[in-house]
Amino acid sequence: MSKRKRIKAGERVNHNQGQTINSGMDLRLLRWLLPISIVILTSAVFWPALKNGFVWDDMDLLLRNPYYRGLGWTQITWMFTTFHMGHYMPLSWATFGLDYLLWGMDPFGYHLTNLALHCANAVVFYFIVLGLLSLVLSSVAPPAELPLRAAAWLAALIFAVHPLRVESVAWVTERRDVLSGLFFLLTILCYLKAATVEETNPARGRWMVSTIIVYSLSLLSKAVGLTLPVVLLMLDVYPLRRLGSSAGGWFGPGTRKVWLEKDNFLLMAIAFGIIALLAQREAGALVPLEWYGVARRLEQIVFGIGFYLW
């Protein structure tokens, strides 16, 4: 090969290497920019909520309630033993106590915490969708990273700014929703990590322990996460396919371990479900059938479903 041809060949190699390096740098930058952009856009949409004051249940929950104000032993004991206003939510109370230490009774700080938690939810949701799409598409062909992340970004943004998120973010009392939601989503993310690691890998056990810990934090924020065992089983069916490819094989010997994994989640869900019922009863939210009959309860269920669809 002549000297000129060797120089040109070397230039082509260097050019290709430069393109690869630039492409790798672009992808690394993209991995940071997409979650950051979700936080920025979500904050921009909900920024007006920071101007809100205390409304509705905030009055009894926060303004006329001195017991949560602080994180001393007296306040923490109250947080873990109270059914105030029909909910058991000691971790949510702890965040209100921290808000009081930081902001006093300025509603701006309380709304800011709600918004920060919601932004965190949106980012965790992004990574959940990214993991689910990777699982689904990898069974067909190795997915390209850019469209995969773009799809997860769009899904997370739709979740973040959907009108159904507004009440939980813009109303201070509903801190319990965004906080329990954060740990609920983290539970799913940890479970996906655990389920996609080899059985012999020690990291799998660590991910499963993390799953149980964050689920308990979700229930300590609000008992709305009681449905998690069902959600995990749905993920086991698809896209994880840990229960086999057909419903007939779901209860075979090979799937026993998958079912037994749900025991801890189910026991926690039952325990906190009972606590939630006790809290509702103490608040007078549960009434006997003779006061509010079966027909009226069914009407309420149908109305609720129809309202959300509308």
What is the per-residue pLDDT for 7?
Answer: 47
What is the per-residue pLDDT for 29?
Answer: 83
> What is the overall mean pLDDT for the chain?
88
What is the per-residue pLDDT for 4?
Answer: 56
pLDDT tens-digit profile of 87-120?
A: 999 999 999 999 999 999 999 999 999 999 999 9
Q: Which two tokens stand for residue 287?
A: 């009434």
What is the per-residue pLDDT for 304?
Answer: 85
Q: What's the CA gap between 11 and 18, in Å, rounded?
A: 10
- Compute the average pLDDT of residues 140-152: 84
**% of the chain exceeding 90 in pLDDT:** 63
Q: What's the CA gap between 42 and 226, in Å, rounded?
A: 27
Polymer length in residues for the chain? 310
The strand ranges marked E within the chain are none
Cα angle 113-115-117, degrees, rounded to a multiple of 5: 70
Residue 86 has pLDDT above 70, yes or no: yes
What is the per-residue pLDDT for 88?
Answer: 95
SS3 for 202-234 is HHHHHHHHHHHHHHHHHHHHCHHHHHHHHHHHH
Q: Which two tokens stand for residue 172?
A: 């201070």
pLDDT tens-digit profile of 149-175?
A: 999 999 999 999 999 999 999 999 999
Cα-Cα-Cα-Cα dihedral sign, residues 258, 261, 266, 272: negative
What is the per-residue pLDDT for 210?
Answer: 96
Taking a C-beta distance cutoff of 8 angstroms, is the pair 211, 194 a contact? yes
* Band of residue 255 on the pLDDT scale cut at 50, 70, 90: confident
pLDDT tens-digit profile of 18-39?
A: 444 455 557 788 888 999 999 9
Cα angle 33-112-40, degrees, rounded to a multiple of 5: 20
